[in-house]
A and B are shown apart, each in its own frame.
Chain A
Amino acid sequence: MSASLDIRLKRANKVYHEGEVLAGVVAIVSKEAVQHQGITLTMEGIVNLQLSSKSVGVFEAFYNSVKPIQLITSNIEVVKQGKVPGGKTEIPFEFPLHTKGNKVLYETYHGVFVNIQYTLRCDMKRSLLAKDLSKTCEFMVHCLPQKAKLQPTPVDFTITPETLQNVRERSLLPKFLIRGHLDATNCVITKPLTGELVVESSDVAIKSIELQLVRVETCGCAEGYARDATEIQNIQIAEGDVCHSLPIPIYMVFPRLFTCPTLETINFKVEFEVNVVIVLHDEHLITENFPLKLCRA
């Protein structure tokens, strides 16, 4: 007869802040009584860094993966060796989220080369005959809001063939004039990125206008540092030959987990950028890049 083990956190959204108490229950469901040699709970917060093969080479990436940085760890025995009665048993627990020393609880972030993850693991040790039971559950940590008042930093932009860099044959480019603005480049992570874009004129029909959200992850290591930019998501804001001189809204929600407040530490950095990408019907691709600074307010 199998028993099941589950961890249920009190908060539905599983979001906690430094200094708060992580509370919940360990739920054991079994038809019969379960004999065990102790149930333990382990809470851990880790930053995993990985070097991209692109910046340091395949082998280095494989061997040189940087040691994970532990942010917080805690272990308690919930129940001593004994028997859990049949039926549904709930054992409440609490972990205070306090760091040791000058460590900071970074915000949960799932990236490519940088991963900041907080987990809670419950283990039930059993006799040799029965398999040990284990259950892991991730919980989110959000940074405390920034104290300083955020000043919006609107950015206006104009894109014409002349403003472009990185062009091979400027003379082959069709004529176009695209104007727009972002309401702010220092964004609150819970609020969308907003702005407007106007196609004033374009010789060639527009095929699509997209917003590309990019993460820039930097990892320090013995050989220096590796800096990689990868796409998080691509949101189309215009499809087809849009009406000229009519403002099109720029709007993008920052995805949870994949974004976090811009982070800069001794060992690694996580930054974000947005690209406004305009695809013309003749497959010309025009990109305008804007670095963002994300924060939590």
Chain B
Amino acid sequence: MHSRARRYESELQSCGLEVAPVEFSDYHPLKSITVTDSKSRRGARKGSTSSSSSSSSSVAPDPLSSMLDGTDPLSMFAAASASESPPTLSQSRKRREKEDEVGVDFEPWSSKRGEILARFTTTEKLSINLFMGSEKGKAPSLASSAVSEKVRTRLEELDDLEEGSQRELLNLSQQDYVNRIEELNQSLKEAWASDQKVKALKIVIQCSKLLSDTAVIQFYPSKFVLITDILDTFGRLVYERIWSMCSDPRPLPDSFTADEVNDTAKETCLNWFFKIASIRELIPRLYVEVALLKCNRFLTKCGIQETVPRLTAMIRGIGDPLVAVYARAYLCRIGMEVAPHLKDSLNKNFFDLLGTFRQIHGDSVQNQLVLQRVEIPVYLTLYSPAIHWILQCVSYRAPEALLTEMMERCKKLGNNALLLNSVMWAFRAEFIATRATDFIGMIKDCDEAGFPQHLLFGSLGRSLACADPPEAERLPILNEAWKVITKVRSPQDYINCAEIWVEFTCRHFTKREVNTVLSDIIKHMTPDRAFEDAYPQLQSVIRKILTYFHDFSVLFSMERFLPFMDMFQKDSVRVGVCLSIMDVFIKHQQEPTRDPVILNALLHVCKTMHDSVNALTLEDEKRSLALLINGFIRMVSFGRDFEQQLSFCVEARATFCNLEPVLVQLIHTVNQLAMETRRVMRGSHSRKTAAFVRACAAYSFITIPSLTSIFSRLNLYLLSGQVALANQCLSQADAFLKAAVSVLPEVPRSISIEGKLRSSEGFLLDFINNFLSALLVVPDHPEAGVLFLVRGLLNMVQDYTWEDNSDAKVHVYISALPLLAAMSQESYLYSIPKVDSNETLYGGDPKFLAEINKLCETLIGQVLDHLKTLGRDESIHRQGSLAFSLFGCLLAHGDLRNNKLNQLAVNLWNLSHKQGYCNTRTSVRTLEFIKHQAQQPDMVHLSDVLHRLTLQSRT
């Protein structure tokens, strides 16, 4: 084969498209079109939609990054809805109505539920006392006015069934108790579904009766949560039932008034209220009536408005302060849900609560506590959830004056720690923060024996974490608070409180103060390995510090930070902490660093992460670990001190040997280091730098074999070979490339990608093509034969066990032809500065060219042989396309003045068109190309060829 001589320069010029500066127009396929559109058209709403103006700037070089600083479609919608055109009349009215409602900033009950259930537990035995059917003769006969005869008899039968079904379940564990209550909830739903409304009501009454029982008082808050769940269910069932009675002809709108409710529905609703009004006991009557509060809407317009104050007053009849306060909490909760605008009743509830506050320290309570052996501080904390909730309802969007008034009234009461605590929880953080010093004073005045002081400081800290106290008061506040916190004896109480205050400290102070805090924590948590029980809190401390300290040199210069880290001795926790540290580092470290403090510390952190990897670690986990470590490695830079950098890489390799992606990253880093050295030396290495880049090559060379992924190895060999070549390390480059070739046979036929087995053929072909193009510039080794790398590669390809029935091998042969053609040129398409390629080594030696031609002939022969075997029916199609690609190769690279070659080309064309499988469009365009080429002076011969190529229409 003879390759045609190429003049790459002129070809490039003639082939090149007309050079037109690429402008970054508004259009980008990934960009949403509407944004710019709406902006230009509706000038009046300028700036209202979004700020994605970057689209038109010519500076943004990367269309993707310019996408990013625009607004994404989702937030665009949000922005658009937020900046609606000026509100119309109806909208403004709607908004005014909305103000009365509860916004998203109101923490809902559902979020408190779980917390209460988790916090108030007991190991004591509980009992449930149910008197089903004990109210016989009252509720059913009352119902008789409305229910039909048949229903009445049925209900009576039911009563008979349950007559005396009074049962007392004793000795229940807490879990049993919870299960029982859940069973009751289920039977309530079942009873309702099977139309046994009276039974449902009885269940609810019995359940709410349990709330008057304060035995096992520690469990009371949880009991309240469980039972109010049932009440909620009941309230919802009744409301929906009555609502559905009015859905004829069409459902009631949400904002219906009593006038729209039909008589039957009203009568049913009224019946419910009469039934409830006759419940004998106070507490069930109260709770059930509160549960049905919303149903008042069906009867009268101001029903709710009149009922809530009455219920508020009714709670005064509850003697036990704990029971009363929870009843108030329930009323406030339902009140907020149903009629959030009735603030007065909420306030009344709170002031009533203050009025009965002295009850808490009364004799009955004291006697009960003695009986149950419950300490006062424990008892007082039982109130917290309810008082928190009431205060949260009262203070929600309340004017400043009201808050101040409430504060004053709380202050007037003695022993008000409990209230104080709830005030700090529930009131706006800003309100608390501006009065922080006052609060500290009040906390100090509180009775030591009552409510635990550390809880008070905890609550204060929580508020201060969200809002800032006046600047001048900050340090005194911290000092005062910490004075108390540090005296807390129980490690668990201590850490709960300290954890909260860490945030305040981080927020307003420097590393010095934080360091002090850390050392105090260490001091408290180390004795008796107390830290073992406080990992969540300690982790939270780290998280908070990381939120405020992004400068890692400052962070690690805190003396106590690393000792603090040492407290995490459980592996999983330790790794979790390390992960969060690295996460923050990668997110916030802007500049590469060489700070030995940071490096040492982070290397230690990363090592911990790395060492957690074992045989059981999931792939995903490994990936995320590797990602973090890689992020760290990328951030390490010793500037011009390349040797130091290399030795860092050596150390890192030893440390992270189990994470393959990290090793890959290290090889890349070292390669980059070599190239950086080359850049600094402007391409000509001194003796010292030459030795250094060789060391880099050596590093890569000994690291690559330890990788398991075959393609990582191949690609890195090739890349490192190229880097070595660029740095004039010829023998190293040879070694890399030889290694790559020798690894080739190991490539399995299929590899696993994302858990699925895929054929490796495509990857292998890609790699080989890549490799071939690199080979152009690799000079032959003086001691090895001509083109020994190309031959070596082709031999490997020959011996490789390709997939059955695959053309891959032939494809490789065909793609090797352009390489050989390029090698036979007088001057090569590309070269590496300061490296003599074969063009200079052989200087166009005819023997060399002959060698290339021989090789080409062998390859073409192989291809033609293969084409012959494809003659059979089922592979005709493949034959055609292979023939065509060989034709294309000859046309582009071969010298068609050579008759033999010319004839071969024509034959190939005919072969590919024989079966009519070829793409006519491609053929036509090929012909056009030849025509175009033939116009050039030295390509006239092509026009002859053109005549012999016929286009076969597919008929």
Contact = CB atoms under 8 A, between A and B. Distances in A.
Contacts of B317: 209, 236-239, 242, 248-249
Contacts of B278: 233, 235, 253, 255
B282 interface: yes
Interface of B: 138, 141-142, 145, 149, 212, 262-264, 266-267, 270, 273-274, 277-278, 280-283, 285, 310, 313-314, 316-320, 323, 355-356, 358-359, 362-364
Contacts of A246: 316, 355-356
B356 A240 contact: no
A255 B274 contact: yes
21 contacts: A12-B262, A12-B263, A13-B267, A136-B149, A140-B145, A205-B319, A206-B319, A233-B138, A235-B285, A236-B282, A238-B317, A239-B318, A240-B318, A242-B317, A246-B316, A246-B355, A248-B313, A249-B317, A255-B142, A256-B145, A257-B145
A209 B281 CA distance: 10
Contacts of A235: 277-278, 280, 285
A140 B270 CA distance: 16
Given A140-B145, A241-B364, A253-B274, 9 more contacts: A136-B149, A205-B363, A235-B277, A236-B285, A237-B317, A238-B316, A248-B317, A251-B314, A253-B273
B675 to A, nearest CB: 84
A284 interface: no
Q: DSSP majority for the B interface?
A: helix
B388 to A, nearest CB: 22
Interface string A195-211: 00000000001100100
Contacts of A239: 212, 281-283, 317-320
Of the listed residues A12, A110, A206, A233, the one surrounded by the most CB atoms of chain B closer than 10 A to its CB is A12
Nearest to B270: A13
Nearest to B357: A243
Contacts of A251: 310, 314
A12 B268 CA distance: 9
Contact of A240 (B149, B267, B270, B364): B364
Of the listed residues A243, A247, A251, the one surrounded by the most CB atoms of chain B closer than 10 A to its CB is A243
A238 B319 contact: yes
Nearest to A205: B364
Given A11-B263, A253-B274, A243 B320 contact: no
A234 interface: yes
A236 B703 CA distance: 86
Contact of B277 (A236, A237, A255): A255
Contacts of B362: 241
Interface string A171-209: 000000000000000000000000000000000011001
Contacts of A140: 145
Contacts of A247: 316
A87 B267 CA distance: 29
Contacts of A13: 263, 267, 270
B12 to A, nearest CB: 94
Nearest to B309: A249
A89 B149 CA distance: 21
**Closest 5 CB pairs between A and B?**
A240-B319, A12-B263, A238-B317, A253-B277, A236-B282
Nearest to A250: B317
Contacts of B280: 233-236
B281 A236 contact: yes
Contacts of A14: 145
Interface string A216-253: 00000000000000000111111111110011110111
A12 B267 contact: yes
A251 B267 CA distance: 22
Contacts of A240: 318-320, 323, 364
Contacts of A206: 319
Given A236-B282, A253-B274, A12 B318 contact: no
Contacts of B212: 239
Contacts of A253: 273-274, 277-278
Of the listed residues B141, B262, B319, the one surrounded by the most CB atoms of chain A closer than 10 A to its CB is B319
